[in-house]
Structure 1
Amino acid sequence: MRRMLGALLAVGVIAGVAAPAHAEPALDWQPCAENAEVECSTVRAPLDWANPRGEQIDIAVARRPATDPARRIGTLVHMPGGPGGTGVSSLVAGNPFAADLAARFDVVSYDPRGFGGSHQLRCDPALIAERPDVRPDGPEHFQRLLDHNRRASGDCRARSGAIVDHMDTASVARDIDAFRAALGEQQLSLYGISYGTLTGQMYAEQFPERVRSLVLDSVFDHSQDTAGFLVTQAEAAEDSFGEFAKWCERDAACALHGEDVGAVFDELYARADAGELPQPGGSEPMTPQDLTRSTISAFYGPDWHALAAELDALRNSEPIATARQQEPIPNPAAAFCGDHRIEARSAEDYARLWKRQEQAAPHLRGGVGGALAPHCLDWRAPVQNPQHVPEIRTAAPILILNALHDPATGYNWATTVDSHVERATLLTYDGWGHGVYDRNECTLDAAHAYLIDGVMPPEGAHCPAVQPEPVQTAVRPVAPW
């Protein structure tokens, strides 16, 4: 594998000023309560970056110092996914990077504003749980959706204050630059995963000269309007469903081997729509959205073996040993709606949008974003960072990593973002799932060569797929990205 990668990589030294000598940080680092090997602190930042002298909030940050200080390059910022994924607890639990990077960089992460330890948004969970079904069902249902979104945003504001207006990724990027300054670093190396790649793009757009290197792993496309967003999300999810069905057709290990997997899923969807599909381990029936969401979450790994067994058990009303779920993120819509202007002028317009995504995903009927975006309709907070093509003009080249078959940030997004950024190179992982960095030796070596030495893969580079194996203790995501 390393021999293959040696042929794959082409030398291209990262441009920009050299990383400064390690300075005493202005942050008050203390051992984290949960793990004394990791340092925790907070940095003060304006609630509203347009009013830097106004109300201030604390942004929680954590750091794992480089394990080989004599060879330290600088700071590598891990930008978590989500929206609403938190970085501090993840960094406390373990280093997200392999030993080669842990030796050379101080790894820093943070909780995005409004989540975790960064001025956490508070909303009524019972009200959030009352969300109407996002599938269109006439003008009265559309009005109920709008009314609920207004009430939910008003409740969050009443409980949390103006943070609900300032949870967009452009503001999070400015928070990152605030702790860059507090660290005494002239430039940062940055790695974003999933929704964290949108934060990375916003950082590069606003602070191009402060980017030493930037990896966008499973990249978010912020250029799509409402229809484009829903359709491209649906296409990505349905592509992963198609790959799962192909695997079932060729591999006898699939519990649905020899069957029409699409027809099996459609039957389950119809039963869920009729309220006749029991919820595994629960008293309430499984909704169509529950079925779609749990299916797509299995594609993140991917965990095809368990998914096939689960679908087979569902149709036979048998008990299911479901994968352990991540803790749900409290109201990720509050952050997503700060980054997206989602528009539907009427119930009829909304139904047309839904039909387009159903046509793009005839089995799943939508993608992960299709369940979240409708909650931005009439959300009463400003869209601080609406969709646009980011103007990224960094001197440093940018490395994009994406799986060919990603259910959440589809390859359709990766090629678009690659075309928008002049100094970007897309490395394609020819496999499945969400997240590429540590898929195999090829992807690890490519990321490490870039982050450590500035070696970029050539245009059109690929890393081979790793065939999915049964997952012993799967953790299924519940956040969109």
Structure 2
Amino acid sequence: MRLLRTTTLLAAVAVGATLAGAATAAATPDLDWAQCGENAAVECATITVPIDWSRPHGDTIEVAVARRAVENPIGTLFYLPGGPGDSGVRRLLDRDPLPDEIGSRFDVVSFDPRGTNRSAPVTCDAELVANLPVTNPDAGATLAGMRDYARALGESCREHTGPLLDHLDSVSVARDVDAIRAALGERELSLYGRSYGTLAGAMYAERYPHRVRALVLDSVFDHSLSPRRFLWTQTATGEDSFREFASWCDRAEECALHGQDVDAVYDTLYAKSVAGELVDPTSGGPVRPMDLVNRTVSFFYGPSSAEAAVFLRSLADGAPAARVAAEETEPFPVAAFCADHRVSIRSERQWQRLWAQQNRAAPTLRTHFAWLPVTLCSAWPAETNNPQHRLDIDHTPVLVLNSAHDPATSIEWARNVTRQIDHGRLLTYEGWGHGVVDRTPCTVEATTRYLVDLELPRRGATCPADRSGG
């Protein structure tokens, strides 16, 4: 997926096959590996796991697994993809998702988490997904309208998906990972979680501390936050990335907005989107307020500052641009997010206060893509089996990685998560973007030393920013 539009937050739940033919058996005890059709260097398999782990002999689903094997591995390194909704199988098929210094030392195994991609994907009414209502209060959205939509969409997901909709939480995902560990015949796993995958990694370490050899949480998700604090901090980190982008434009002559007031340019575009007057000159389609926010923030994942400037300039000029592709970002299916987040919004007035708080945290961007799932979760008709809580990890030394200027996972989250882990150590990349492990030789070396030799960096360790690109 290239540009992260508002509708793509839901798009992953509208594709894939409906859960069918649920069997009645506990997890399959082994994996029947075979070369993957798309890439002979990668092995593929499936494992049967219970839909509801509290009923291990109840209905089941098939979870897709992939492996890149090496000679004389240290052991198995399990890659936990982000999103929620990213495909670990696709990551392994495309390339080794970890630097060669790490991937060459381990059998790297990953999967498509339950309810996504090749693992019994959640399926919902396509027309509802395609017709997402206005989500921005500035453009006329109301809590009542959003909650009506959430209920209708959720019920359609339940109709097409079945009981799996109540068991998409990260604890269930962690239990799937342990079933895969057992099927691999491994006593322990090393794990690398990225973005939302860090939550499954943390849940695994909570539940199976003696099964963890090492755990890396890269661009970490803080599951201890209230919905209000979650919205505030994520919106603020998006605004921080915009401030860094605007500062770069002031300095860099190659910025397409150099010499202009970048904030004023964005304010004008935002006002036009609220009025329904902003058109994408490349596609000819409308750009709604949340589309503008999401597409702008998606450029900061790389970051791709030059591309962000070209995109905003093309919208302002009304002329198609030759290069406006954002960095690849990860899907964010609402159903999985709501399984991990209990949200209570009691009134329109409270919702409007949350919106005003976001505007204060991000006076330019106004909001963040988190606004949609948090709002929908307040009326989502499925169980939240893994509500927010502080981590309880006291056995495992954990390496936490985060950029100082990450548009999605705040450095504040990383510091807070590290404080919750008795033997946690934070390595801060002093630059920009989402995802740290392969940023510079410094980040690769520190992560390799930990995963291979189990040596954590010193407290307060940092890696300098790579200033070679925009």
Q: TM-score, normalised by structure 1?
A: 0.89
* Distance of 1:116 and 1:199 partners within structure 2: 17
* Distance of 1:425 and 1:327 partners within structure 2: 27
* Distance of 1:324 and 1:439 partners within structure 2: 18
Structure 2 SS opposite 1:185: coil
AA matched with 1:43: I
Cα RMSD for the two superposed structures: 1.7
* Distance of 2:177 and 2:113 partners within structure 1: 9
Shift of 1:139: 10
* Distance of 1:198 and 1:121 partners within structure 2: 20
AA matched with 1:238: E
Partner of 2:275: 274
User: Which of 55, 62, 66 is matched with 1:62 structurally?
Assistant: 66
Report matched runs for 1:372-451 at 5 Å: 372-394=373-395, 396-451=396-451
* Distance of 2:245 and 2:329 partners within structure 1: 26
* 8 A Cα contact 2:138 2:274, kept in partner: no
* Distance of 1:371 and 1:406 partners within structure 2: 20
* 8 A Cα contact 1:301 1:433, kept in partner: yes
Partner of 2:11: none
**Alignment deviations for residues 85-118 of structure 1 (CA, whole Å, 9 cap, x no partner):** 1111110111112222222210000000001111
Report matched runs for 1:12-411 at 5 Å: 26-66=30-70, 68-69=71-72, 72-136=73-137, 141-320=142-321, 321-323=323-325, 329=331, 332-394=333-395, 396-411=396-411
* Distance of 1:250 and 1:136 partners within structure 2: 35
* 8 A Cα contact 2:31 2:47, kept in partner: yes
**Alignment deviations for residues 57-94 of structure 1 (CA, whole Å, 9 cap, x no partner):** 1111000112x32xx21000000000111111110111
* 8 A Cα contact 2:43 2:68, kept in partner: yes
* 8 A Cα contact 1:303 1:468, kept in partner: no
Structure 2 SS opposite 1:299: helix
Shift of 1:203: 0.6
AA matched with 1:31: Q
Call closer, same or farther: CA 1:207–1:228 in 2, change over 3 Å. same
**Alignment deviations for residues 398-457 of structure 1 (CA, whole Å, 9 cap, x no partner):** 000000000000111111111111100000000000000000100000000000001110
* 8 A Cα contact 2:304 2:326, kept in partner: no
* Distance of 1:26 and 1:127 partners within structure 2: 39
Structure 2 SS opposite 1:451: helix
Shift of 1:129: 2.1
AA matched with 2:212: V
Structure 1 SS opposite 2:245: helix
Structure 1 SS opposite 2:93: helix
* 8 A Cα contact 1:302 1:468, kept in partner: no
* 8 A Cα contact 2:169 2:336, kept in partner: yes
* Distance of 2:114 and 2:41 partners within structure 1: 24
AA matched with 1:215: V
* Distance of 2:154 and 2:385 partners within structure 1: 15
* 8 A Cα contact 2:46 2:62, kept in partner: yes
* Distance of 1:216 and 1:126 partners within structure 2: 37
Structure 2 SS opposite 1:278: coil
Shift of 1:243: 0.6
Shift of 1:382: 0.7
Q: Percent of aligned positions with the same letter in both sequences?
A: 49
* 8 A Cα contact 1:236 1:406, kept in partner: yes
* Distance of 2:286 and 2:468 partners within structure 1: 30
Partner of 1:20: none
**Alignment deviations for residues 329-370 of structure 1 (CA, whole Å, 9 cap, x no partner):** 4x7001000000122101111101111011100111112312
* 8 A Cα contact 2:228 2:354, kept in partner: yes
Shift of 1:226: 1.1
* Distance of 2:188 and 2:400 partners within structure 1: 19
* Distance of 1:270 and 1:60 partners within structure 2: 45
AA matched with 2:115: G
Q: TM-score, normalised by structure 2?
A: 0.91
Q: Please, which runs of 5 or more residues in structure 2 have no aligned partner? A: 1-28
Call closer, same or farther: CA 1:294–1:195 in 2, change over 3 Å. same
Partner of 1:464: 464
Shift of 1:33: 1.1
Shift of 1:325: 7.2
AA matched with 1:41: A
**Alignment deviations for residues 134-156 of structure 1 (CA, whole Å, 9 cap, x no partner):** 22379983222111111101101
* Distance of 2:98 and 2:358 partners within structure 1: 36
Structure 2 SS opposite 1:134: coil
Call closer, same or farther: CA 1:424–1:345 in 2, change over 3 Å. same
AA matched with 1:404: A
* Distance of 2:239 and 2:90 partners within structure 1: 33
* 8 A Cα contact 2:404 2:411, kept in partner: yes
* 8 A Cα contact 1:426 1:460, kept in partner: yes
* Distance of 2:48 and 2:297 partners within structure 1: 38
Call closer, same or farther: CA 1:230–1:171 in 2, change over 3 Å. same
Shift of 1:130: 1.9
Q: Number of aligned pairs?
A: 441
Call closer, same or farther: CA 1:324–1:435 in 2, change over 3 Å. closer
Shift of 1:28: 0.6
Call closer, same or farther: CA 1:122–1:448 in 2, change over 3 Å. same
Partner of 2:12: none
Call closer, same or farther: CA 1:99–1:142 in 2, change over 3 Å. closer
Shift of 1:246: 0.9
**Alignment deviations for residues 177-231 of structure 1 (CA, whole Å, 9 cap, x no partner):** 0000011111100000000001111111111111100000000000111100110
